[in-house]
Amino acid sequence: MLRRLGGRFARFVIPGLVVGSVVLCAAPAIAGVPRGAARLRALDPGALLGGKSVVVTGAHNSAQGDAGGRDFLLALGADETLIGGGMNEQLGSYGTGDTIRAGGKGHQMLVAAGHGQRIVAGGRGHNLVYVSGSDVTVQLVSRGNEVVFDGGHDRLVCSPRARDSVIYRRSTDQISRSCRDRGNQIAPLSAWPRPEKAAGGSAHASALSFGGEGTNYQPYFQDCPTATDQATFKSCTIAFPPRTLTGLWANEYVPAYRCPGPPIIKHYYSFLEKTNYAPAGTTLPLGVEVRGLGPIGVSITGTNLSLYTEPSRNYMTLTGSLYSSATNWTLGSASYQVILHCVRP
């Protein structure tokens, strides 16, 4: 069933209920959530990637993403169900007793911010699960997931197929025996890579000190911080200043970033390393790392190739429609940080 939302179409799956039972104009009494789902829909984070933005309220309602993916689904009512349908989707819930299921091709980000929720990380891809709520049960079904328990008193269980996952936990979280071994890595929450603290609550202005404007024509850049002679460095890692988003579903295009050196001077030029730094549930180019994922969902799909030295090598990320997005899934402020791993040919 399709329902039109602000010029876009959203798919709702509502067993035993009529369409009119999905109330999109009244928000539940959740502290910090803007009154009126229309205000959240107007932020439309899915549009940045060419997907839909769906807000579900009321109780016992459901929403499902399309197989094409890139949809953003948010549940605010109690006992609601969100189901992923494709890749690069982001699903989050603030209601009590809600259920979120990753499905389809997977590679989805699942955010559990309510009480007593159930998260099922399945599908054919790898999923990022971020838990800030309490008494949440996470069930791993597929391989290669990442789970961040940032709430308290939560529980993790695993199916026989759930292997090779990374789990960050607090001391109050319960990890089932079914999750032990099988290639799963269990670490304390303190080991979870966080972004640097944004100066003054916002890093937008400080990013300008690196040079560039963050556009596709003038991306942010900085020379290799560890190289005294830029003509001789072999590799370097550049951590750009964190960027801060405030408010649930606040979003932006991730700015463009590039490796050191002007592209027309060969002996200064460098390329993105051919290494995958993306955690589960996140799409990033090779050589690009992002910290702070979970509270913020990030997708970067656009890169630019060298036209002067090695035409098959990427040297920068792209910003703008369909190329990148960053979305805040918390009620307050959260930061993310882009890190480039660059090498000389």
What mean pLDDT comes out for the span 275-289? 91
pLDDT digit string, tens, across residues 145-187: 999 999 989 999 999 888 999 999 999 999 999 998 888 999 9
Banded model confidence at residue 30, pLDDT cuts 50, 70, 90? low
35 phi/psi in degrees, rounded to 5: -75, 125
Give the DSSP letter of residue 242: P
Q: How many helices (H) and strands (E) does the chain have?
A: 1, 27
Give the domain ranges of the chain.
Answer: 2-191, 199-343
Of residues 109, 163, 86, 134, the one with CA closest to residue 290: 109
pLDDT value at 12 more than 70: no
| Structure confidence by residue, pLDDT tens digits, 131-141 | 999 999 999 99
320: Cβ contacts below 8 Å, ≥ 6 apart: 216, 253, 302
Convert the pLDDT of each residue in 208-254 to its tens digit.
457 899 999 999 998 777 655 555 667 889 999 999 999 999 999 99
More confident residue, 142 or 5: 142
> Residue 16 above 70 pLDDT?
no
Q: Which of 62-66, 103-107, 269-273 has the lowest mean pLDDT?
A: 103-107
- Supply the pTM of this predicted model: 0.85
| Run of H or E including 42 | helix 37-43
Residue 26 has pLDDT above 50, yes or no: no
The token pair at 256 is 């463009």
Q: What is the pLDDT of residue 70?
A: 87
> Quick check: 22 pLDDT over 70?
no
**For residues 38 and 81, is the Cβ–Cβ distance under 8 A?**
no
Between 116 and 10, the higher pLDDT residue: 116
What pLDDT sits at residue 293? 95
Q: What is the pLDDT of residue 170?
A: 95
How far is CA 106 from its chain centroid? 13
Tens of pLDDT, residues 50-94? 999 999 998 999 999 887 778 999 999 999 999 998 778 999 999
pLDDT at 11 over 70: no
